[in-house]
Every structure is written in C-alpha cells, then in structure tokens.
Amino acid sequence: MDGERKSERFRRAISRQDFLRAALMLAASHLLRCVPAQAAEGMEVSEVAPGVFVHQGRYEVQSPQNRGDMANASFVVGSDAVAVIDTLGSAVTGRELRSAIRAVTDKPIRYVINTHMHPDHVFGNAAFKEDNPAFVGHFKLARGLATRADRYLAINKQMLGDDAFEGIEIILPTLAVETSLTLDLGGRTLVLETQQTAHTDNDLTITDTATGTLFLGDLLFSVHVPTLDGSIRGWLVLLDRLASKKAARVIPGHGPHAMELPEALEPEQRYLAAIAGDVRRLIKEGKTLEDATTTAGFSERDSWKLFEHYHVRNVTAAFAELEWE
Ligand SMILES: [Zn+2]
C-alpha cells in the first residue's frame, strides 16, 4: 500500500474524531458557529504512522489570514513523553498545535525540536513554554536565529499583523545537538542528526526509530518551491546522500503529510540542479547577476507554487555562491 493512501486512511480516522468533537461543541453552544472553522474544530493533524502525527501547513507566505500556518509541524508520542518537531509560524498557531497534541495525549511535552531557524518553524515555540520542555536544535541554530531575530520579528509583525503576531518571541535552544543525539520518549527513541550547510547552516534531521519515519524539515520541499538560505552545492550533495537512506516514510518541511524515498527528493533535486547548471553556464559566459535572475532555472516555473515569490532570491543566492567556485 502506498504511503499516501495509508496516510489518507489515518486522516479519515482522525477527522471522524474531530467531527464528533466538533459536533459536541456545536451542540454545546451556537455561539461557536461564529468562530472560524479552524478554531472550532481544532488544528488538522494526521497520524501517518503509529504515534506520529503531522500537521500540513499551507502553501502560502505569512498573512493575517493564515496566521503563520505555512509549514508542516509534527509530534511523536512515546509511552512516557511527547516530542514536538517544529511549532509553526506564530504563538497563536503554536497554541493550536498544542491543543491538537492535548486532544491526542496528556503525556508531558518534554522536547520541542526545531529543524532549523526559519520563523515558520520556530515562532510557535512560545506556546510550549508552560510545558518547560528542552528546546532542541542544531548547535548553529542559536547563533543563526539570534543574529536574525530583529529582522525576523520586524518582517513577521508586518506580514502577520498584530493579532497573529501576539505572543511571538524568540526562544533559543536549551539543548544543542553537536553531531547526533538520541532522545528516549519511552518505548521509542528519536535520533537527531546535524547536517552540513544546505537549506540553512543549521538543518537537523530526526528519525523515529520505532516507525522508520524520517523528518527532513526544509531539506525537503514538495509543491512549495524550495528556498535557499544556505548552500546550493551543499544541498545537492546532501540530497544525493539522503536519497540512499532507508526510511519507511519522510516528512517534508513543506509538502504532503508523508512521502517516500527516493522519489520525494527528485523534483527538488531537479530544481536545484537546474539553477546550479544555468548559473554556472552564465557565469562562464561572463553574464551578470541580472541576466541570471531573469533566465536561470525558469524551466521550473510551472512546477512549483510560490515560484514568483522565492525563485529570484534563490538564483541570487546561488549566483553569489557559485561565482567564487
Ligand atoms: Zn526553512
């Protein structure tokens, strides 16, 4: 059975619970009819493997409407404790994720893991402060996030608007992963591994050994165009390595709830290789950055959502890196 069909089945099981809960709430108060559907029914999560839950974010940039819900966030439930993997892009959506966890289990939330520094993955951290978890990340995450904090806060305040920005704070990791770290949730362990500079310089992958689920964070984009904030050369090398990994399923940072190796990586490899190939050729021909931003990688234009939003930035970053080869 393919992963998508399997996760569809789990999704149906979950949404039946959601439906019952929503029906009970509606019966309790007609006032709830006025509340947006998302708030009344709780945040959608799918159980993609036993004890592994994924919320799928929207393929959008942050806005008052999506309130920073534009990346995937997951949680893994052990017999003793829960680990959260990424917390969405605002305290408001972080709290909804926390409610979704509480609808599944009352076990303590002991770890909040961030796959990397980007706001759509870390700005919900504040919602978990009351659980007093260890905040876990790549050893370069603290520096990366701290140096960009003011800029990230200013941009997100502007794009999210005051209501969705409420409660956001920068929470740096309290537990740094040097190369790898194993977390015991009771009956299952998570293996956290730092990766070489690729999407960013602080990408962390997580493997749930009980189910063979590999969380790739933004090392894997699907549907949503990849965004480059690290090294295009490093990312391409890393993707080759990841493609040979054995995993029952992978969870992208942006994309469906669950996917399979190696096919999941192929569109992203093709996209990054198109940019790298075109930019290298243009540099060799003595062309400028401006030439590159209007032509490089445009064969990929129709294959991705948000291409017009991020592609030129990706080419610009790739040009700056590759002109020094
Ligand atoms: Zn990212």
Residue 159 or 33, more confident? 159
Taking CA atoms, 221 is separated from 183, 199, 260, 265, in Å, by: 26, 10, 13, 8
pLDDT of residue 325: 87
pLDDT of residue 291: 97
CA of 184 to the centre of ligand 1 (A): 26
C-beta separation of 125 from 111 below 8 A: no
CA of 27 to the centre of ligand 1 (A): 40
> Which tokens sit at 256?
């469906």
Taking CA atoms, 308 is separated from 300, 304, 313, in Å, by: 11, 9, 10
Per-residue pLDDT averaged across 264-276, rounded?
98
Per-residue pLDDT averaged across 294-323, rounded?
98
CA of 228 to the centre of ligand 1 (A): 8
CA of 105 to the centre of ligand 1 (A): 28
CA of 218 to the centre of ligand 1 (A): 5
pLDDT band at 32; cut points 50, 70, 90: very low
Task: Report which DSSP code applies to 224.
Answer: B
Per-residue pLDDT averaged across 125-142, rounded?
98
CA of 200 to the centre of ligand 1 (A): 7
pLDDT band at 41; cut points 50, 70, 90: low
CA of 116 to the centre of ligand 1 (A): 7
Per-residue pLDDT averaged across 284-308, rounded?
97
148: Cα separation from own chain's centroid: 18
CA of 49 to the centre of ligand 1 (A): 24
**Cα radius of gyration (the chain):** 20
User: Which range, of 2-16, 161-175, 176-190, 213-227, averages the lowest pLDDT?
Assistant: 2-16
**pLDDT tens digit string along 188-239?**
999 999 999 999 999 999 999 999 999 999 999 999 999 999 999 999 999 9
CA of 283 to the centre of ligand 1 (A): 27
CA of 186 to the centre of ligand 1 (A): 30
User: Which range, of 30-34, 64-68, 77-81, 204-208, averages the lowest pLDDT?
Assistant: 30-34
Q: What are residue 82's DSSP bridge partners?
A: 77, 109
pLDDT band at 24; cut points 50, 70, 90: very low
Residue 27 has pLDDT above 80, yes or no: no
Taking CA atoms, 264 is separated from 52, 239, 258, 268, 302, in Å, by: 19, 10, 9, 8, 18
In 180-234, at which residue ranges do the beta strands (DSSP E only) sit?
180-184, 189-194, 204-208, 213-221
Residue 42 has pLDDT above 60, yes or no: yes
Query: Beta-carbon neighbour count of residue 63 at 10 Å?
Result: 15
CA of 108 to the centre of ligand 1 (A): 27
Residue 3 has pLDDT above 50, yes or no: no
Residue 302 has pLDDT above 60, yes or no: yes
